C-alpha cells in the first residue's frame, strides 16, 4: 500500500550547522510533496512544498530536492537556529486522492 | 485571513461515549480533511469532504464519521469511544482542487478514560 518512510527519527545539530531529513515514497504516481513543521501544542505548519515537475525548490534557509526516479525527496535547512527545533513531517499526495500520506516525523533539536 | 479553527481544543470522555469535533476552514476553502495523530501511528488520514460530499476515506472503523455543511464547516463524530481513540485530531482545509496545499488547524486533543 501507500507508504512514506522518513529518516532520521531524531536529529541533533549545533546552531549554525545544516540539517537534512530524507523521505522515500512508495506510490510512483505521487506528484505533490509538502513539508510541515509542528511545534509543541500546535498543528503542522507548511514550510515548503514541491511538485513532481520540479527537481529543487528553495526558500531562504530551507530547500527541498526531489528525485522521482528513486522516489526520494529531502528537506535541507541551512544555518540552523534554536527556533528551528520542532518535529518535521514529510508527506506525499497524488492527483485525485485528496489525501496526504505522512512520514513518521523527525524531531530536530538545534543546540545553542 | 483567519486560519483553520477547531473546537473544542481539549476533551475528556469515557469509554463508550460519543464525541463530536468541529472544524471551521479558512474563508473560501471548500475542502476539509481530518487526520488522527498518535505517537505510535503518526498522522493518519480519516476522510475528506468537498462541497458537502465525502471524496475519500481512510482505513478507520465505521465508528468514525464526518459531515460537511453548506458553509464548508465540518464535524467529525466518534461513537462508542475506545481507549485507543485518544489522540490529537487535526483538521486541514484547502481550496479543494487538485494539488492544493492543505492548511492545518491546532487540533483537538481527545483523552478517553
Distance set, CA A70 to CA A25, A27, A41, B105 (Å): 9, 11, 35, 33
Q: How far is A50 from chain B (nearest CA, A)?
A: 10
What is the Cα–Cα distance from B4 to B103, expressed in whole angstroms?
7
Helix (H, G, I), strand (E, B) or coil at A82: helix
Nearest CA to B40 out of A105, A35, A100 is that of: A105
pLDDT(B109) > 70: yes
Confidence of residue B51 (pLDDT cuts 50, 70, 90): very high
Helix (H, G, I), strand (E, B) or coil at B103: strand
Most A CBs within 10 Å: which of B9, B21, B33, B43, as the mutation test of the A interface?
Answer: B43
pLDDT of residue A54: 87
pLDDT of residue B100: 79
pLDDT(A50) > 70: yes
Q: Identify whether the C-beta of residue B91 lies closer than 8 Å to the C-beta of residue B72.
A: no
Grid cell 512508495 in the structure block, residue: A26
**What tens digit of pLDDT does each residue of B2-46 get?**
899 999 999 999 999 999 999 999 999 999 999 999 988 889 999
> Does A1 reach chain B within 8 Å, measured CB to CB?
no
Q: Identify whether the C-beta of residue B68 lies closer than 8 Å to the C-beta of residue B49.
A: yes
pLDDT(B98) > 80: no
| Residue, of B86 and B42, whose pLDDT is higher | B86
What is the Cα–Cα distance from A7 to A20, expressed in whole angstroms?
9
pLDDT of residue B77: 98
pLDDT of residue A98: 84
Please tell me which of the candidates B31, B42, B44 has its beta carbon nearest to residue A98.
Answer: B31
Confidence of residue B99 (pLDDT cuts 50, 70, 90): low
* pLDDT averaged over every residue in chain A: 95
Q: How far is B65 from chain A (nearest CA, A)?
A: 16
Q: Identify whether the C-beta of residue B92 lies closer than 8 Å to the C-beta of residue B5.
A: no
Task: Please state whether the peptide bond connecting residue B8 to the residue before it is cis, i.e. omega within 30 degrees of 0.
Answer: yes
Terminal CA-CA length for chain A: 41
pLDDT(B72) > 80: yes
For a pLDDT cut of 90, what percent of chain B falls above it?
88
For a pLDDT cut of 90, what percent of chain A falls above it?
88
pLDDT(A47) > 80: yes
Distance set, CA A80 to CA A7, A49, B11 (Å): 18, 19, 36
Amino acid at each position: 500500500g501507500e507508504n512514506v518512510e522518513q529518516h532520521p527519527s531524531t536529529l541533533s545539530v549545533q546552531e549554525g550547522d545544516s540539517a537534512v531529513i530524507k523521505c522515500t515514497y512508495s506510490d510512483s504516481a505521487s506528484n505533490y510533496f509538502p513539508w510541515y513543521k509542528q511545534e509543541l501544542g500546535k498543528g503542522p505548519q507548511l514550510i515548503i512544498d514541491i511538485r513532481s515537475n520540479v527537481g529543487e525548490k528553495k526558500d531562504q534557509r530551507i530547500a527541498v530536492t526531489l528525485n522521482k526516479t528513486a522516489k526520494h525527496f529531502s528537506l535541507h535547512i541551512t544555518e540552523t537556529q534554536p527556533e528551528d527545533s520542532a518535529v518535521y513531517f514529510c508527506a506525499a499526495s497524488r492527483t485525485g486522492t485528496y489525501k496526504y500520506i505522512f512520514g513518521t516525523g523527525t524531531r530536530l533539536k538545534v543546540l545553542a | 485571513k483567519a486560519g483553520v479553527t477547531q473546537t473544542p481544543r481539549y476533551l475528556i470522555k469515557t469509554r463508550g461515549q460519543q464525541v463530536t469535533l468541529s472544524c471551521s476552514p479558512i474563508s473560501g476553502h471548500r475542502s476539509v480533511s481530518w487526520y488522527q495523530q498518535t505517537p505510535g501511528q503518526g498522522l493518519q488520514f480519516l476522510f475528506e469532504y468537498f462541497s458537502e460530499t465525502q471524496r475519500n476515506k481512510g482505513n478507520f472503523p465505521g465508528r468514525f464519521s464526518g459531515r460537511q455543511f453548506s458553509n464548508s464547516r465540518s464535524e467529525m463524530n466518534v461513537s462508542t469511544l475506545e481507549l485507543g481513540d485518544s489522540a490529537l485530531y487535526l483538521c486541514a482545509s484547502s481550496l479543494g482542487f487538485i494539488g492544493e496545499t492543505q492548511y492545518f488547524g491546532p487540533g483537538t486533543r481527545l483523552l478517553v478514560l
